[in-house]
Amino acid sequence: MARLLSLVLILMVLVPVSSRLIADDSITPLTLGIDPAPKRDGDKIGDDPGHALGLDSQSADSYISCAAIDLQTGDYDKAIYDCSQAIQIDPKSVRAYLVRGNCYNASNLYARAIEDFNQAILLNPKLALAYGYRGSVYFRQRDYDKAWSDLTQAIQLDPNYADAYAERSGACDAKGQYDNAITDSARAIQLDPNNADAYYYRGSAYEALGDKCMAAPNNSQTVQFGPNGEQNVNDLRIKNYDKAIADIEATIAIFRQRNKLTPLAPILSRVYFKRGQVYFHARPMKAGNKAAPH
């Protein structure tokens, strides 16, 4: 993927679509570790933030329950309002800072997101989720060194934090540390076989290794691949590209399974483009032709 009360159920599900590869449709009040009040006849969620469900306006947990529903429906502004109300009531509500921080992240308000995660870490320095979420913001800002540092801290605090491994894999891939990216993705998949991000980033790393092999015959600085020379390099290229395609196919399959009722094109376009790139590079070799280097 007890951390803090019922936060054991939050397994990085709040990370916004833009920072992760896919949207996680498992965001519900229960995955937030919150028991939402039952919706009564005639109630309209969010018409009156913090009150539409008839919850106690003096209870921080009540506002967080509303924020969970707002977050589920993608209404980040109302979720931020709910969390802010909860924080006014209970300035030490770590859950409120976590939820609001993720809403800020989804709204591209990165500085505010980091402030909230900083506060959550100040309140609970041993909370893996807070480091994981802050690492997600840094990842989204393409500050991969800080992202790697926070995600590593999250993993040290919780060695079974699958999503932290997956996103750290993405950071390693972006930094050109492809072997580390593959190792982290493999660990994430071991912990969570349905982690689409892990498959995607591992596939991306395999693609990069295939590209690296493609350039090998014309690069005197490249490590030698054995007595078979270029043929051995070609074999490695094919194997890496095949692995990349398999992982990207797995990404698509998981996404479709999770989001049967969700429009796919805006998010999957990136995945299909990646698959097309790999096919483009792999096809000449599979046809027995010599692929031209980049």
- Summarised one tens digit per residue, pLDDT across range 248-279 is 888 888 887 776 545 555 567 777 777 777 77
What is the model's pLDDT at position 214? Answer: 63
pLDDT at 224: 43
In this predicted model, what pLDDT tens digit does every residue of 55-95 receive, in sequence order? 556 789 889 988 888 877 889 999 999 999 999 999 999 99
> pLDDT of 236-252, one tens digit each?
778 888 888 888 888 88
Distance CA(15)–CA(116), nearest Å, equals 14
Q: What is the mean pLDDT of residues 30-44?
A: 37
pLDDT of 279 reads: 73
- Are 175 and 148 a contacting pair, CB within 8 Å? yes
| Average of per-residue pLDDT values in the chain | 74
Q: Which residues touch 128 (CB under 8 Å, ≥6 apart)?
A: 3, 153, 154, 155, 157, 158, 161, 164
- Per-residue model confidence (pLDDT) at position 28: 35
Examine the pLDDT at 291 and tell me if it is beyond 70.
Answer: no
Query: Does residue 53 have a pLDDT over 50?
Result: no
H or E element that contains 200: helix 196-215
The 10 Å CB-count burial string (b at 16+, else e) for 80-90 is bbbbbbbbebb
> Is the pLDDT reported for residue 97 higher than 50?
yes
pLDDT digits (tens, 9 = 90+) for 167-212: 999 999 999 999 999 999 999 999 999 999 999 999 999 888 887 7
Q: Categorize the per-residue pLDDT at 219 as very low, low, confident or very high, splitting at 50, 70 and 90.
A: very low
Q: Which of 74 and 223 is assigned the larger pLDDT?
A: 74
Q: Domains of the chain by range and CATH?
A: 1-157 (1.25.40.10), 160-294 (1.25.40.10)
Count the Cβ atoms, other than its own, within 10 Å of residue 20: 22
The whole-number pLDDT of residue 281 equals 74
227: pLDDT strictly greater than 70: no
pTM over 0.75: no
Query: Which letter does DSSP use for residue 6 in this model?
Result: T
What's the pLDDT at 239? Answer: 84
Distance CA 32, CA 67 (A): 10
Is the separation of the CB atoms in 112 and 104 below 8 Å? yes
Q: What is the pLDDT of residues 113-170, one digit of tens each?
A: 999 999 999 999 999 999 999 999 999 999 999 999 999 999 999 999 999 999 999 9
Query: Which residues make Cβ contacts (< 8 Å) with residue 270, sequence separation at least 6?
Result: 21
pLDDT of residue 89: 94
| % of the chain beyond a pLDDT of 90 | 44
pLDDT score recorded for residue 211: 78
At 229 the pLDDT is 44
Confidence at residue 8, expressed as pLDDT on a 0 to 100 scale: 26
Q: Classify burial at 240, counting beta carbons within 10 Å of its beta carbon; exposed 0-12, middle 13-18, buried 19 or more.
A: buried
| pLDDT tens string 21-36 | 433 333 333 334 444 4
pLDDT at 290 over 50: no
